[in-house]
A and B are shown apart, each in its own frame.
Chain A
Amino acid sequence: MTTAQVSFLLEVRSSKLWHKATNLLVRLVWYVGLSLLGIVFLLPFFWMLSTAFKEPGQVFAYPIKWIPDPIVWRNFVDAWKVAPFTRFLQNTIIITAFCMVGEILSCSLTAFAFARIPFKGRDILFIVLLATMMLPPQVTLIPTFIIFSKLHWVNTFLPLIVPSWFARPFYVFLLRQFFLTIPTELEDAARVDGSTRLRIWWNIFIPLSKPAMATVLIFSFIAHWNDFFEPLIYLNSQSKKTLTLGLTTLRDAYSTQWHWMMAIAVLMVLPCLAIFFMFQNYFVEGITMTGTKG
């Protein structure tokens, strides 16, 4: 290469045009790469939807039929009737609702104390709380099961609901972090007026921490709606099962009726997706809190 050529190339490199071109290339790679990955991440959802709306004959068609034709709504009705899914849905709603109420009340009370009441031993107990967040649940699993079975609570909703009324460390932590950001002035004024701490908690902290409350409620909903392990070990009669157990039951009984299983899967995933789309920022906030301040 002659010096003239080299200097020409250097000139091109430093020119605006070159800069623009590389910028464009970076952008292109970025969009193409993320889009391909995005397709991979969406494929399960697409496959689920596509199968849920297919005629049974098309489920096993070769070559594969991506878009169902005709679109069959009946699968949802049929699948719903194969097993008592109305009952499963009711059970899931009851368990989820009671757990959410229990968790929000017990966790916000506990969090309020850790954030605002200067009681003896608070710091040590808070460390204990953080430590229990890391504790793998299996070490407590079997005695807890034995206790509940001795109480004749197996095959009732109680083993799933009652522990939720005794606070979950992760939510306590989340709410405490939020309570710490609430200015003390309001509370001081209320104390001067003679308000009890219970009133301050209920009248000031609960209304002021709606975003944190919403985050906890959302996480709680997702966790209990999708819960599988606890229903699996505690609920065994058909009339007590939840949706997650219902789906595994369906799978055991009709292992090749994929259009039914996918229809139920769609219905189960739908509320979670709806909540996620509505409250996406709360998810991000809550998750971020665990990672950065933990």
Chain B
Amino acid sequence: MGATSLPTVASSRTWFRIKSSESLQANIDGYLFISPWLIGLVLFTIGPMIASFVLSFAQYEILSPIVWVGAQNYREIFTSDALFWVALKNTVYYVVGSVPLRIIIALTLALALNQKFRGTRLFRTIFYLPSVTSGVAVATVWLWMFEPTYGVINNILRLLHLPTPPWLGSLDWAMPSVIVMSLIYIGPMMVIFLAGLQDVPEHLYEAAEIDGAGTWMKFWKITLPMLSPTLFFNMIMAVINSFQVFTNIYVMTRGGPANATMVYMMYLYDVAFRYVHMGYACALAWVLFVIILAVTLVQYKSSGWVYYEGRV
């Protein structure tokens, strides 16, 4: 250090200038680099969000001029739109039926695959498989599997002398069928649980073993609390996604029979793109958004069961 000159007033000033021009450059570069996202945020997220809120107070059929109707769309949704209530009820049925089962299956599989047995990789691959092929192709396959007479499911049930309901064709069984089908999409959830399990420190189990804890005790007192943030994350995301279920319903039932599987997004699709009631559809979208937001907030508020390490 000794040989280098002490900073003079002048050199510290240039240093300051360099520093400030550098931070200016950083600001310019920063905003240039994020500009694709920032422009997209304005054009495709914030702009349309505002527009959709504004349009929800109008009647608009794209080709006709906008007619402002105040809160009438919302009034109609809540007081005289029977199909809205049907769709909402079906969606809640789907969420309540699908999410807990998916979480239980994904967690059980993750626990099983966290054992150090041979073949875990193969099983993980098999359970993840449906999740990469999701969409129209798989829904079409399930449509064929659920076929009442020649489908594979009823063929197996007949072999076992069990009742063979008409599944997607029946008022009572259509929604359970859709829920059953949704259960094979547990791949990502399972992988997230597995990662969570691998993060549980080994010394906790060792300490518990010294205290004489059995397998169950270790699961309830260590695994589950340590895994609770992961569980919470999976739950939040699964609920948000399930409220928006669409493709499977569109391919398998289009909301039928007699609206038995008419879920919210299916109804919204019909209103917007079949009947082109854009204003009304915007109001429906906002109602769904508020419902999802409220459900998510309630989950956050009641997340006292989630254990965060390091939080007193």
Contact = CB atoms under 8 A, between A and B. Distances in A.
Given A228-B135, A228-B136, A292-B196, A110 B45 contact: no
Contact of A292 (B128, B134, B142, B195): B195
B129 A45 contact: yes
A82 B206 CA distance: 63
B210 to A, nearest CB: 18
Interface of A: 27, 30-31, 33-34, 37-38, 40-45, 47-48, 51, 59-64, 105-107, 109-110, 112-114, 117-120, 122, 125, 128-129, 132, 134-147, 149, 163, 165-167, 169, 172, 197, 201, 222, 226-229, 232-233, 244, 247-248, 251, 258, 261-262, 264-265, 268-269, 272-273, 275-277, 280, 283-284, 287-288, 290-292, 294
Given A45-B129, A248-B136, 19 more contacts: A34-B123, A42-B129, A44-B184, A45-B141, A60-B150, A64-B152, A113-B29, A114-B34, A120-B30, A141-B48, A166-B36, A166-B43, A226-B133, A244-B135, A248-B250, A273-B132, A275-B132, A291-B195, A291-B233
Interface in B1-54: 23, 26-27, 29-31, 33-34, 36-41, 43-45, 47-49, 51-52
Contacts of B143: 251
A47 B36 contact: no
Nearest to A268: B137
Contact of B234 (A119, A248, A273, A291): A291
B230 to A, nearest CB: 6
Contact of A51 (B62, B144, B273, B285): B144
A59 B265 CA distance: 33
Interface residues of B, number: 87
Contacts of A277: 125
Contact of B37 (A59, A106, A227): A106
B192 A134 contact: no
Contact of A273 (B34, B133, B288): B133
Contacts of B138: 44, 265, 269
Nearest to A27: B117
B192 A110 contact: no
Contact of A136 (B41, B152, B243): B243
B132 A47 contact: no
Contact of A140 (B49, B196, B199): B49
B188 interface: yes
B272 interface: yes
B268 interface: yes
A165 B123 contact: no
Chain B, interface SS category: helix
B278 A262 contact: no
B37 A292 contact: no
Contact of B244 (A138, A273, A291): A138
A283 B127 CA distance: 13
A132 B48 CA distance: 13
16 contacts: A30-B112, A34-B112, A47-B145, A110-B36, A113-B33, A114-B34, A120-B27, A120-B30, A137-B244, A143-B49, A143-B51, A172-B37, A228-B251, A248-B140, A273-B132, A283-B132
A269 B130 CA distance: 10
B29 A119 contact: yes
Interface string B202-246: 000000000000000000000000000010011000001001101
Given A106-B36, A229-B246, A291-B196, A31 B49 contact: no
Which of the listed residues A63, A110, A113, A129 has the most CB atoms from chain B within 10 Å of its own CB? A113
Residue among A59, A105, A141, A244 with the highest chain B CB neighbour number at 10 A: A141
A290 B285 contact: no
B286 interface: yes
Contact of B34 (A47, A110, A135, A229): A110
Interface of B: 23, 26-27, 29-31, 33-34, 36-41, 43-45, 47-49, 51-52, 55, 62, 109, 112, 115, 117, 119, 123, 125-130, 132-138, 140-145, 147, 149-150, 152, 155, 184, 187-188, 191-192, 194-196, 199, 230, 233-234, 240, 243-244, 246-247, 250-251, 265, 268-269, 272-273, 278, 281-282, 285-286, 288-289, 292, 296
A272 B127 CA distance: 15
Task: Find the residue from B45, B138, B292 having the highest chain A CB count within 10 A.
Answer: B45
Counting chain B CB atoms within 10 Å of each CB, which of A37, A261, A275, A287 scores highest? A287
Contact of A64 (B39, B126, B128, B155): B155
A294 B236 CA distance: 12
B254 to A, nearest CB: 10
Contacts of B27: 119-120
Nearest to B233: A291
Contact of B240 (A27, A134, A229): A134
Contacts of A227: 135
A41 B47 CA distance: 42
A229 B33 CA distance: 30
Nearest to A145: B272
Contacts of A222: 132
A90 B206 CA distance: 57
A174 B136 CA distance: 27
A142 B55 contact: yes
Contacts of A268: 136-137
Contacts of B26: 117-119
With most chain B CB atoms within 10 A of its CB, the pick from A136, A139, A232, A290 is: A139
A142 B191 contact: no
A134 B299 CA distance: 14
